[in-house]
Each structure stands twice: as structure tokens, then as C-alpha cells.
Structure 1
């Protein structure tokens, strides 16, 4: 199946820790492959060589930076990611499947770090308007109770700088995703992330297939 630049879609996955994004993305990418759709799979923070260097810094438990610095590093990584990976792929007619994008910045830095304070949210919105020329066509928010997700995440490798935060932090992050879903229901689709992997994958495909 050939894709033109106008047909190429930008799909992002969002959610708190341990919601199953990696497994869900694996399933979607297999579906896209089966449908004959060329795509680029990427992630944030990261995705480009420079952005991956910033990712290591941001996730390192030894990194000691304030909230504004963290937010600005996220956007520095995103700017390079967009320029080097996302926009060229879309222009070439390839779909882009991204593990996290701007909604995570609003949720983690705006609500998690910034407590949902209007000043921090306004800073983030201003940076999005200035440095993000393309938003996803579809965002899949994997909705899972925070405690359940943290239990899943705890079974993985050692906690990174974000995963070490307290439960109250992730409750605020969850609120951030919920608020964005309410504000942008046409772009952000809530996916029930509870249940069997196959069931979650089917819900995701139901949301994505109209984009074909």
C-alpha cells in the first residue's frame, strides 16, 4: 500500500508508568506491517541521536536539575526529534508511531512537577505553540489505575529518575492526562488498558483503523 505525505499519520501513545505502552505499540506496528504501511517507530524523550543523549540525562537518578530546566530539556530533545525523525518521515509518506509526545510533557512537567499550576501550564503551552509545528493525528491514552501501573512498573528494571517519584506525583500525572483527554477528545482517545493484551490491542486497532 503506497502512502503519500498527506496520507501519512502521526500516532502517539500516552499513559502513566506501567500501562503497557511497549506491548501495545508492538501490536499496532505488527498490524501496520500486515496492512503494508510504512512507518517509523520512535520515542520521547529520545528518538534522534542528540535527543537520546538528553534522555539519558533526564532519566539518570544522579541528575539534579530544577523543574524549568527539565521542561526545557524535554523541548530541546523534542525539537531535534521533530527535525531529524518525525517531520522527515511524515514528509516521505511514512506513518510515525511515537511512545510519548507533548501530552506527556503537560502531564509530567505541568501536572506532576508543576502541580497543575497555571503559570507552568502556560509556559508549556507557549513552547508547544513555538516549537511544535505538528501534533499527532491521533493520541492513544492507555488508561490504567495508577497503583496497578506502578505495581507493573516495579517488576521491570531499576527505577529511573521519574519512576522514583512518589505515588502523589503519578496521581497528578494521571490527572494531567485526564484533563487533556477532556480538552481534546477528538485527538486523544481513551483506551481501557485493563484486561488481556489481545483485548487492549483490539481496542487500539478500533481507534486507529479509521485513519487508514
Structure 2
């Protein structure tokens, strides 16, 4: 089995659903620059959901469906040489398939969807990292979202960490992908993009301090989720 196939989302169905709120599908996304600890944070949130009897599905962008995972391989491959418009359109092609094949069916079935990156990453990475917040590029992204994204997350958890600290963490990994190879200036602009979005959409997008231990960050995240969805 290829790495992309292994990454395809699987619905986790606890044997005993004990929380009434779990009968309604919820959509949560995680965002952040490189090295902020999204993978661990998502795993720990899913443990909390499991413990509370909530059926959930973990997925990611780019990717999440068989077709989108193929596009992910292209987008992350350091050997890929494409211009900014091509990159943006490939991201939305992957997103369209992901939404229709995975996200919407899960939500309609009452399953919580936990997504590693979504539209906010496109605005931050392509709109700010690539285009430094250029209004014409932002308008292009906004138009694509309006036309092709029928469902936005109800809650976005922005794991915030100083850029240099996150990059130092990321550099400890194996070979960097096409985005991770960008310079510090790129990620400084990406961070500015997330900060702008958090200011623009304070009810949906919550800043989570990603410093400290994994348990401390997990506690902050679970508190935010409980408050957002009135979980006991």
C-alpha cells in the first residue's frame, strides 16, 4: 500500500456514543506554520473525542481522497516546477474532490470531521506566503472559495508558535517537502496571514498557544472545542 493510500481517512466509531452533541456532525480544521505540532495535537483531540463517544474522521489537505492524494504528491514534490496560479488551481481541484467524496458525506452522516489544513492555509500560504497579501490574489482565492467550497469549518484552531521556533522543529524531520523548503521570509508572511485571518474571523478561528508540552497544548485545544460545541 502506498503512503497516500495509508493516509486516506477512516471513520472512527466508538462502541458507545455517550454525548448527545455527537449526533451532529461538526467540522474542525487545524492550521499553523511548519513545526507547530498539528499532527500530535490532532491525535490527542481524537483521543478526547473517542473518550466522549464521538464518531470522527481525520483527514488532511491537500489530500484526503484518492484523487486529492495524487495531487498532494505533485504539490509537495520538491521536483515540481509550477507557477503560483497552477499551484492554486491544483489545490482547489484537490479540495473540490475531497469535499465531495469525503467531508460532506461524513458531516451528513453525523460524523465529526477533523481536517489538517483547509482554506485558511490557502489564504495564508498562497495569498500571503506567495503573494504577500496582494489584494488581487486574495480576491482570486476568495472567489474560488465562494464558488467551490460549500462547507467551511465551524471551528478553526490556529496553533501559533514563533516562526523560527517552528522551523527549528520542522528541520529535525526527514527530507523537507516543497513547501517546507521555503525561506524564513515566506513563513513570516504565512504567519501574518494566519494572524490576519484570526483577527478577521474571531468567532470561527481561535488562536491556540502551541508552546509548552504536548499535554498543555492538548488541554487548551480540548477546552476550546468543549466551549465551542457546548460539550460537558
Structure-1 separation of matches of 2:72 and 2:206: 26
User: Are 2:90 and 1:63 equivalent residues in the alignment?
Assistant: no
Q: Which residue of 2 aligns with 1:89?
A: 106
Indicate whether 1:24 and 2:26 are aligned: no
Instruction: Out of 4-13 and 61-70, give the one that drifted further.
Output: 4-13
In structure 2, relative to structure 1, the CA distance for the partners of 1:52 and 1:109 (3 Å cut) is same
Question: Structure 1 residues 4, 191: CA separation in 2 closer, same or farther (over 3 Å shift)?
Answer: closer
Q: How many residues matched? A: 212
Give the corresponding residue for 2:31. 14
Q: Which residue of 2 aligns with 1:116?
A: 133
Specify whether residues 139 and 159 from structure 1 end up closer, same or farther in structure 2 by C-alpha distance, changes over 3 A only.
same
Q: CA RMSD in A?
A: 1.3
Instruction: Indicate if the aligned counterparts of 1:4 and 1:93 stay in contact, CA closer than 8 A.
Output: no
Unaligned regions of 5+ residues in structure 2, if any?
1-16
TM (normalized to structure 1)?
0.98
Q: Which has the higher contact order (CA 8 A, sep 6+)?
A: 1
**Structure 1 runs of 4+ off > 4 angstroms?**
2-6
The aligned counterpart of 1:49 is 66
How many Å apart are 1:4 and its aligned residue? 8.2
The CA distance in 1 between the partners of 2:218 and 2:25, in whole Å, is 21
- Rounded to whole Å, the distance in 2 between the matches of 1:7 and 1:192 is 28
TM-score normalized by the length of structure 2: 0.89
Q: Distance in 1 between matches of 2:30 and 2:150?
A: 18
